[in-house]
Amino acid sequence: MKSHRVWKRPLALVVMAAAIAAGGACTSAGASATQTRHDGSRAADGSRGTDSVTDLLAGCARGGEGGQGGRPGEPGQPGRPGEPGGAACLRLADLPDKPEEKLSAVDKVRIVLTVTSGHATRAEVAEKYKVPEKVFDTWKEQVLDGDWLGLSGEGFPFST
């Protein structure tokens, strides 16, 4: 059974990489004609662009700001530190509010990381997503085994 896993992971990684590449191409093609701003700053027309990553991290702590360089022969100014204790965004409230059948593989990985980091319990996750704790145990096992196809619900015919 060990030889079965030897080819399983590389194949899963290739499939996931292709899916990510295809998703990125579709996202780029579907973007509007105006330039999307990813840094949260205002565009020339005064609107703010959106980005799924920035939307995802909106409630998280902000990082620090870099310092300013000095003039020739003078030292620069130090930067400011970021906000403490919130960079990982692994709180139960940070998890997506979707039904279990609409959770992506990435959502399930975030759920597993939240529970394994101690920011939520299996019972809290089971209650939030209305699934038995055994389902969470399956997700955790799939994450630890690298079973990305199984985690995304596309395991057949490769799932064990």
Please give the Cα distance from 90 to 67 (Å, whole number). Answer: 29
Is 138 buried (19+), middle (13-18) or exposed (0-12) by CB count in 10 A?
Answer: middle
Determine the Cα–Cα distance for residues 80 and 31; give it in Å rounded to an integer: 35
For the ranges 74-83, 88-97, 122-131, the one whose mean pLDDT is highest: 122-131
> Are 148 and 105 in contact, with CB atoms under 8 Å apart?
yes
**Residues near 64 by Cβ (< 8 Å), separated by ≥ 6?**
79, 80, 81, 82
34: left (phi over 0), alpha (psi -120 to 50) or beta: beta
Give every CB contact of residue 112 below 8 A, 6+ residues apart in sequence: 136, 139, 140, 143
- The structural domains of the chain, ordered by start, are 93-160 (1.10.10)
Q: What is the pTM of this model?
A: 0.47
d(CA 82, CA 59): 14
How distant is the alpha carbon of residue 150 from its chain centre?
18
Residue with tokens 């093609």: 29
Which residue would you say has higher pLDDT here, 128 or 43?
Answer: 128
Per-residue confidence (pLDDT) for residue 43, from 0 to 100 = 47
- For 46-82, write each residue's pLDDT tens digit: 444 444 444 555 555 566 677 788 888 888 888 787 6
pLDDT per residue as tens digits for the range 99-116? 988 999 889 998 998 898
